[in-house]
Structure 1
Amino acid sequence: MLYWHWLALGMALLMAELFMASFFVFWFGLGALLVGAVVWLDPNLDPALQLLGWSVSSGLMTLLWFRYLRPLMKDRTQAGNARAAVIGEAGRVLRPPHGDKRGRVRFTTPLLGDDEWEFICDGPVATGDRVYVKDFSGNTLIVEKRD
């Protein structure tokens, strides 16, 4: 195979990765580009060595990605996980619940884009009490007062 065959294969595999969400074919495309560069430097390289080089380089790059590099790039933010971001946050009661009306609590830092929320509580609370988010139901927080 000539060097440009490997380059064409590498580019085709890289373009195929655009249509796949696996990030797996990418490494085989890079391996083909690497072999294309080696064959460009040494055009008389045996085709069996070319295939071996492609297999080994693709396999090593895939292994390095999935084993070592990908775990370092995991998203450790709470984005998309509203429940975990809200549970345990503390706020002050502005208006306690009364009858069928829900109470109102204010947080020092906004929770999910707002610093004031309606809430319900199992126990009695008064204006100014510190409450903690236990759960939420729709647009209403379920809070508890801790002593």
Structure 2
Amino acid sequence: MDVQYWHWLVFGLILIIAEVFIPSFTIFWFGLGALAVGGILWISPMELTAQLLLWAFFSALLTVFWFVVMKPRMLDKTRAGMSREALLGETGQVISVPEGDRRGIVRFTKPLLGSDEWSFICDEPVQLGDRVQIRDVSGNTLIVAPKIYR
């Protein structure tokens, strides 16, 4: 049987559609590899062995590209959408000390719920630059305590 370019295109589309029913996000890359072989075969005919080697090469290359380059960049590092309980214990640095009725401001190295600076209330006195730890959340204000180092 002579494998034509459209065989690879149909095979690639079947694999990509199969990803919808078998959500592993790996079949997708084999489908894209098949589409690439179909495109190359459309331009330049080649033996079946070369086609299979190209398919394996493109599939592996695209899979590695996804897991090594793209997936790490797509991780959400902002902690947006975290529950209140997930915030408890997070540590930040005081950048504005509370005075009278004015609340202090604490900055975190990673944004929490979409912001890296939050107003805070603290029952104990804190100084500029002190490290504080979240004990509770009250509306849009954090309730913190000075960080205890052990």
The bucket for the TM-score relative to the shorter chain is 0.5 to 0.7
**Aligned alpha-carbon RMSD (Å):** 3.8
How many residues align structurally?
130
| Paired residue type of 1:92 | V
What is the percentage of aligned positions where both structures have the same residue?
31
Change in CA separation of 1:84 and 1:53 when aligned onto 2, cut-off 3 Å: farther
TM-score by structure 2 length? Answer: 0.59
Match of 1:106 among 103, 106, 125: 103
Match of 2:93 among 82, 89, 94: 89
Which residue of structure 2 aligns with residue 136 of structure 1?
Answer: 135
| Paired residue type of 2:134 | D
Which residue of structure 2 aligns with residue 55 of structure 1?
Answer: 56
Runs of 4+ in 1 over 6 A off after TM superposition: none
Unpaired runs of at least 5, structure 2: none
Q: Which has the larger radius of gyration?
A: 1
Q: Which whole-Å CA distance do the structure 2 matches of 1:141 and 1:70 have between them?
A: 37
SS at match of 1:93: coil
Unpaired runs of at least 5, structure 1: 96-103
Which residue of structure 2 aligns with residue 101 of structure 1?
Answer: none
| Paired residue type of 2:97 | R
Change in CA separation of 1:20 and 1:119 when aligned onto 2, cut-off 3 Å: farther
Change in CA separation of 1:84 and 1:6 when aligned onto 2, cut-off 3 Å: farther
Q: Which whole-Å CA distance do the structure 2 matches of 1:20 and 1:29 have between them?
A: 13
1:13-60 deviations in whole A, cap 9, x for unaligned?
A: 2233345554322221111011111221234x3223222221122112
CA positional deviation for 1:10: 1.2
Give the stretch that moved more between structures: 133-142 or 3-12: 133-142
Change in CA separation of 1:71 and 1:33 when aligned onto 2, cut-off 3 Å: closer
Give the stretch that moved more between structures: 33-42 or 70-79: 70-79
Q: Which whole-Å CA distance do the structure 2 matches of 1:32 and 1:17 have between them?
A: 14
